Structure 1
């Protein structure tokens, strides 16, 4: 005696209109493509069924930690183990500006409230 599942499997494999409709319904329920399609359409289905990119850890943490890296390079530059030509150029321009007497003086304006709080 066949079980109900075996009867259902035989019914699905049959080529009747009812069997085709039940197969489509089954595919819809289980998130598969209801009607067989070509490879281009299957590519779209595959893309939409994948995990969103903004939740993918490999993409989120792709770039290195810039803040930590720049702090490390600054420390290595202080020790003389790393050469930052752009920073060297900026310091040289600042030194030459000081030699010409063109140093910028920054005057800080204090609020009236801050002066009162200091006293």
Structure 2
């Protein structure tokens, strides 16, 4: 003897107009796509069914590890495993200034109130 649920499942799988309408209604009730669509449209449906990015903590609270990354890059540069062209340029400009005798001496400004 078939249960009522089994009868409902058989009815939904039937190809009658009533069965198609019931399947669409069921899909709408349970938040699924009511009418079968192509994969391109399903991609949009999937995108809209996900959580918005502004409520996703992994996106909002993302903070890159600048200090650690900078230290790692400096160490790799010392070892010759990373080439930082901007730092190379600055070092070369500093070297050329030293050769010309144009080295800047940075002095702290002392308290001018001291007499």
Give the TM-score normalised by the residue count of structure 1: 0.52
Unaligned runs of 5+ in 1: none
- Aligned pairs, how many? 105
Written as runs of structure 1 = structure 2, the 5 A alignment for 1:39-118 is 39-49=39-49, 67-78=67-78, 81-82=79-80, 84=83, 86=85, 87-109=87-109
CA distance in 2 between partners of 1:89 and 1:38 (Å): 54
Written as runs of structure 1 = structure 2, the 5 A alignment for 1:25-44 is 25-44=25-44
**SS across alignment from 2:33:** coil
CA distance in 1 between partners of 2:71 and 2:44 (Å): 44
Give the TM-score normalised by the residue count of structure 2: 0.54
Taking a change above 3 Å as real, the CA distance of residues 96 and 44 of structure 1, as seen in their structure-2 partners, is closer
Q: What is the CA RMSD across the aligned residues, in angstroms?
A: 4.1
CA distance in 2 between partners of 1:111 and 1:8 (Å): 89
The residue number in structure 2 matching 1:15 is 16
